[in-house]
Structures are given as structure tokens and as C-alpha cells.
Amino acid sequence: MARSTRFFLGALLLVAFALRLGYLWEHRASPFFDAPIVDAQTFLKQALASGPFWGGDEPYWQPPLYIYLLTFVCWLMPASYFVGIRLVHAGFGVLSCLLVYALARHAFGEQVGRIAGITAALCGSLLYFEGELLAVPVEVFLNLLLLYSLLLAWRCDRGRNWVLAGLIAGLAALTRPTILPFIAAFCAWTLWHRRTSAYRPLLSFVIPIALVILPITYRNWTIEPDLVFISSNAGVNFYIGNNANYERTVSLRPGMQWETMIAEAANSEHETTAAAQSAFFFYKALDYITAQPLGYLGLLGKKVLHFWSGPETKRNQDIYYARQHSRILSLLLWDWRVSIPFGLIGPLSLLGLALSMRREWTPSIALLRLYTLVYTASVVLFFPAARYRMPVVPVMIAFAAFAAFQLYLGMRRRSYIRTTVLALSLGGLLILCNLAEATPTEEDAQLYFDLGEVHLRKQNYALSARYSHRALELDPEYNYARHNLAAAYFHQERYGESEREALQTLAQNPRRTDTRILLGRIYLATNKPQQAEAYLRRALQRDPESGMAHYYYGRLLYRQGHYATAATHLQRALAWQPRNFWLHYELGRALQQAGQTEVALGQYHQALSLARRPEALNAIGALHLLAGRIQAARTHFLQALELDPNNPDVHVNLALIELENGNHAAAIDRLRQVLARGPSAHAQRLLDEAYRRLEAP
């Protein structure tokens, strides 16, 4: 390797990694950094639950490989996984830049390779997705690695190279099955060019793919006796992008409309398995295609234009919002006149693809061209969004770099006619690809809903209410935003406003169990037990497995004195939050009142193992005191005071020990200190008893 090449690669590594570290540092200011939403939130929840590596109660809804990666990072860095996974993403991003350079260099030469590598390092959309808890950086890396390994296998034609390429292809399919059409096309392409000599290498390539995928298929089959090869979301995704109301389905937000659409398959008599429900949506889309072929052709044309459109079309989250928290991203990703980066990369790559047709055939150029065309088609077949077209963007960068280099050569060699034709072609493509404009951030109701949701999770209730209210101004029918507004008002103790918004939410969507639970909580807080019971019981009728409903209904029953029944509901709520301190603590209280003191003691100890809080220590001490274990009780009370020196309940219990031991003066002094801090009926009764005993002959 030449010295200049080594220097360039070192500089490329340095620049790419520095940009990614800089963006990671700035991205920490985003409210979404440690509060992911939609798919990212789903991935993280599964990872924190140790990941469904083999067990589970349903086939995979989404491809599982990224969940496994997240699970490993969360296990490795339990206290800093938000930073850890993004560092892993940054590593994949840097390696992807090197692979873009290597592929472009093999296809078009050293100069084009360098242009492509630098462009990949500076690509704002790649940088953005490397900062999200989504599978995109892994998809990009594995697809590029697959292309490079296929190129090596084609050139060297060794069995081990084909096997390695097959293993990488299998992993890529477990990350995003959209790669499978390219794999099939590559096999057909190899058969066409190699004829009879293609069978052995293709077997060496295909068998490892099957060996990687089949364990996942078997795992899905053991759960439901219906084949789901990788994940079961393909059918609904195909329907979203192929129906007469495409504009509506492709813009569906998480919420009532999405649930209504998904419920179509779930409510169908014969569609009981995940595979059957996926097939339901496939057949529904195919019915539209066969019934309206001309309309479908028009829709395909529209999706092709959307794919090549410069603005980054969001799937779940407004991409351009991230610019507000990063100067680096604001320079590398924007939408004004020409959308950067894709509004420039797209037209240049189209020009580069056309120019590559005139070059002498080489496997490297043909392979990149095949990948670009097939992967583009596979995305258009479903629905184009920035997140889904990203795996093809790095290869487009190689063609874009080739086109840019050809323009440079034309000017340098003074080939004015050719250069003018190329420039005019590029100009037309630039105009065509940048006709559309991204939705302004300030008009995006989902963005404000997301901000309201995130601040609700972070217990910043005033901000949550403000953002949720703004989402409703933009879309008064945004049911989920109205529920969040009601929840934010509840936590601000604005119970009247919270009740009004919750009732309106329920009127819009009577299926909402969470809103019924919220109304139950509102009526618990405002001392309306009959209304609270009505809504909580109705919530449990609609969803008997709702841990949250069992929890608040259990609390209501405890308040009403039905301790044994309350304990039953609180016990069922443990499946909802098995590591919740308060749930174990309140279950212990209910069991204690129901006379099950030993079981209650176990729950208090379980609560204490989750969080060392004075409430649990005081409760354990009180049970020891009732059992006559005075020293154990005193030890726990003193430990509680170390955490909360002014806890009145602990001081009253210690005063009771002093009183029983005949230390009347010490008990009186402790009780006076309690009453000096605030009124306490229990402390006053015990103080009166202490004076009575002190004055007794």
C-alpha cells in the first residue's frame, strides 16, 4: 500500500471518528437521547428484559439481530448503555466509511475511492442514524461488508470466501430482510455469468445463509406452528405501502388509527397466528394491486419519486429536529433549496449509474450497480422513507463520487461539450430530486406529541403539558396527545382539567384501557371511590392482564379495608413491574393487614433489596417489634433514621420501645421532638400514655 494511501486512510479514520464523537457529545442535549420513542423504545425494552434470545410468547415482530446487539451492550454497560450503543454505532459508521472507500476504489480507482470515503464520512443522514437506537448503522455496515466479501469471493473463487459471504448475508438478513431480494438477484446473476461453474460457489454461499436464518425460523415455529422465517411485520409493512389510501397509511402515527388497522387482522376469524395476520395484510395489498393495476402503477411511480426525493422522509421521528441540538448536524443535514446530503447524492448517483454503463464491464461495477437497483426496488416495493433507503445510500455515494470525478476530468481536459451535457443532465436531476420539501418542524404534530411523551416520562410535567397541548392545536383528534395532556395535568394536581381531557380521550377512543386507569387514579386522588372503582373494574374487564389496573385497584381495595383481596390484585401487578419498590412495599402492607405477617416480611425484604428506603426498614422493624424481637426491631429503626433522621413513624416506634422498656423520659423527649416538627395523632396518643405511666404510683 502506497504511503499516500496509508496517510489518507488514517486521515479518513480520524475525521470520521472525530465527527461522530463530536455529534455524540452534542446529541446528549436532545431530550430523546436517553428517552427513545416508538421502534427505538421497543428495541430497548426488549434488550433490558434480557432480550428474547430463544423464549417468548410470540414470533419476532421485528428482525432480532439488533435486539441481541442492544442486549449485549446493556449487559456490558448497564450504567451507560445510552452512550455505549452510540459508540458501537460510531464504530460501525467509521468502518462503513472505509468500506465505501474500498468498494469505490475497486470499481472506479483510487481518486474516486477517496472522494467516496470523504463523502461518507461527511454524510449527515448517516451521522444522524448513528445517533439513534435503530438498526440502520448495523444494516449499512453488514450490507457493505457483504458487498466487499462477495467481490473478494468472485475474484478469488475460494470456498471459504463464499462461506464467509454467506454468513455475513445471513446476519444482514436478520437485521433487515430487505437484503434478501438482492441475495436472490446475485445468485441469478452469478448463474448467468458463470453457467455450470456457478453451482459449487453458490452452494457454499447459500447454505451458510440458511444455517444463520433457520434457528430463528425454528424458534418462531416452536412458539406458533406457522412459519415466520424472520419476523412477522412484513405483511403490514407491505400493505402500508400498497393500498388505495397510501398517503394515509404511510403517515399513520402510533395511536388509535394504527391500532385500528392492526386490529383488522387480529379480529379476523381465521387469522390467529402472527404468520396468518401477516398474510392477511399481504393478501389485502394484493387484492388492491389486482383490482386496480393502473392505480398501482401510478402508486409505484409516486413511490419512485419519493425514493429519489432529496428531503429525508421520516418514519417515526422528525430527522431535522435533531439539528436543533447539534451544530455539526446542522452543517451536514439541511433542507433548503437543495436538500443536503441526499438532494445532492441522489442526482449525482443517477448520473454516475448512467456513466458506469459506458465503461468496460467489471465485476465490481456490475455488483454495485446490481445492489443499487435491486435494493432500491425492494424499498420501493414497500414504502420509501429515509430510514429504509439508508443502506443503499453508501453505494450511491460511490456512483456519485464517480460522476463528480468525471465532471472534474471533463473540465480539466477541456472536453467542453461532454462536460456541458453532463452538467445540464445533473442540473435537471437536481431540480427533479429537490422539488419536494420536508414538513416544517413547527407543523409536525407527532414531534410535539413525542416531546410531550418524553417529558412525561422524565416527570417534567409542565413541559409535557405544553408540548401535548401544541400537538392538539395542530391535530385536535390526536388521541394519544390528549391522554398525555390529561396525565400531565394529573401529576400537576390539576385534577379537574385532567378529568376533562381524560373523558374526552375516552370518548374519542373507548378502547383505551390506560385512560380508564388514569380516570381511576384521578378519582382516587379526589376521594371519589365509587367512580374510581367503576373505571378500574372496567379497565380490568377489558384487559384482565393489565398490571397497572391491578395495582391501582389493589390500592383502592386496601383503602376500603379489603386487605386480602387487595393483596391478590397487588400480587398480580408484580408481573407488570417485578422490580418496583413501592409495589412490593404496598403488597407487604396488604398482607400484613390480612394477617400474613411472615409473607409480608418477605415482601418488605424484597422491596428493601430493590431500594434501601426508610419505609421498608421501618415496616420490617415494626413486624419484629410485634413479634417481640426488640433488638432486631431497634436495629432496623436506627438504620431507617440514618436514611431519614426526621422520619416521624420511626421515632414513634423507637419511643414505643423506650416506653415498653420503662424509659419514660427518653420516650417523652423523642415524642416531643416529633410533635415539634408537625402534628401526629399517633405520637400524641403515645405521649399521653407516656405521661400517664410516668405519673402512675
C-alpha cell at 231: 419476523
Cell numbers 450503543 label which residue?
A: 85
Of the candidates 485, 320, 450, the one whose C-alpha atom is nearest the C-alpha of residue 31 is 450
Indicate the DSSP class of residue 179: G
Q: Which of 414-425 are b and which e, b meaning 16 or more Cβ less than 10 Å from the residue's Cβ?
A: eeeeebeebeeb
Instruction: Look at residue 669 in the predicted model and tell me its pLDDT.
Output: 82
SS3 of 252-313: the string is CCCCHHHHHHHHHHHCCCCCCCHHHHHHHHHHHHHHHHHHCHHHHHHHHHHHHHHHCCCCCC
For 128-181, how does the pLDDT look when each residue is reduced to its tens digit (9 = 90+)? Answer: 999 999 999 999 999 999 999 999 999 888 889 999 999 999 999 999 999 999
pLDDT at 361 over 80: no
CATH 3.60.9.10 for domain 445-649: no
Of the candidates 444, 250, 436, the one whose C-alpha atom is nearest the C-alpha of residue 343 is 436
Confidence at 438, pLDDT banded by 50, 70, 90:
confident
Instruction: Look at residue 503 in the predicted model and tell me its pLDDT.
Output: 96
- Least trusted range by pLDDT, from 165-174, 225-234, 328-337: 225-234
Please give the model's pTM, rounded to 2 decimal places: 0.89
Question: What mean pLDDT do residues 2-16 have?
Answer: 91
Instruction: Look at residue 317 in the predicted model and tell me its pLDDT.
Output: 82
Cell numbers 416531643 label which residue?
A: 672
Confidence at 696, pLDDT banded by 50, 70, 90:
low
Q: 238 or 671, which is more confident?
A: 238
Q: Taking the chain, what is the end-to-end CA distance rounded to the nearest angstrom?
A: 103
Angle between helices 81-108 and 136-156 (to 10 degrees): 30
- Dihedral angle, C-alpha 112, 114, 116, 121, nearest 10 °: -170
Chain CA centroid to CA 581, Å: 26
pLDDT at 269 over 70: no
For 196-214, how does the pLDDT look when each residue is reduced to its tens digit (9 = 90+)? Answer: 777 889 999 999 999 999 9
Question: What mean pLDDT do residues 236-257 have?
Answer: 84
For 27-84, how does the pLDDT look when each residue is reduced to its tens digit (9 = 90+)? Answer: 999 999 999 988 898 889 888 876 555 556 788 889 999 999 999 999 999 889 999 9
Instruction: Look at residue 261 in the predicted model and tell me its pLDDT.
Output: 78
Of the candidates 478, 498, 485, 479, the one whose C-alpha atom is nearest the C-alpha of residue 455 is 485
Burial of 264 (0-12, 13-18, 19+ CB in 10 A): middle
Chain CA centroid to CA 328, Å: 24
Indicate the DSSP class of residue 178: G
Q: Which of 525-551 are b and which e, b meaning 16 or more Cβ less than 10 Å from the residue's Cβ?
A: eeeeeeebbebbebbbeebeebbbbbb
Q: CA–CA separation, 163 vs 169, rounded Å? A: 10
Instruction: Look at residue 413 in the predicted model and tell me its pLDDT.
Output: 87
CB-side neighbour CA atoms (13 Å) of 599: 14
CB-side neighbour CA atoms (13 Å) of 517: 21
Q: Which residues contact 360 (CB under 8 A, 6 or more apart)?
A: none
Q: What are phi and psi of 579, to 5 degrees?
A: -115, 30
pLDDT at 365 over 90: yes
Start-end ranges of CATH 1.25.40.10 in the chain? 445-649
Confidence at 443, pLDDT banded by 50, 70, 90:
confident
Q: Kindly state the percentage of the chain with pLDDT values over 70.
A: 97
pLDDT at 345 over 90: yes
Question: What mean pLDDT do residues 335-358 have?
Answer: 93
C-alpha cell at 390: 439508508
Pairing of strands 338-340, 334-336: antiparallel
Q: CA–CA separation, 83 vs 458, rounded Å? A: 18
Alpha-carbon distance values, 677 to 177, 276, 680, 681, 683 (Å)? 65, 65, 9, 13, 11
Confidence at 248, pLDDT banded by 50, 70, 90:
confident
Q: What are phi and psi of 338, to 5 degrees?
A: -110, 125
SS3 of 384-432: the string is CCHHHHHHHHHHHHHHHHHHHHHHHHHHHCCCHHHHHHHHHHHHHHHHH
Instruction: Look at residue 267 in the predicted model and tell me its pLDDT.
Output: 63
Indicate the DSSP class of residue 439: P
- Dihedral angle, C-alpha 665, 670, 672, 675, nearest 10 °: -160
Q: Which residues contact 459 (CB under 8 A, 6 or more apart)?
A: 491
Of the candidates 249, 255, 241, the one whose C-alpha atom is nearest the C-alpha of residue 450 is 255
Cell numbers 397509511 label which residue?
A: 249
For 488-528, how does the pLDDT look when each residue is reduced to its tens digit (9 = 90+)? Answer: 999 999 999 999 999 999 999 888 899 999 999 999 999 99
Instruction: Look at residue 50 in the predicted model and tell me its pLDDT.
Output: 60
Q: Which of 128-141 are b and which e, b meaning 16 or more Cβ less than 10 Å from the residue's Cβ?
A: bbbbbbbbbbbbbb
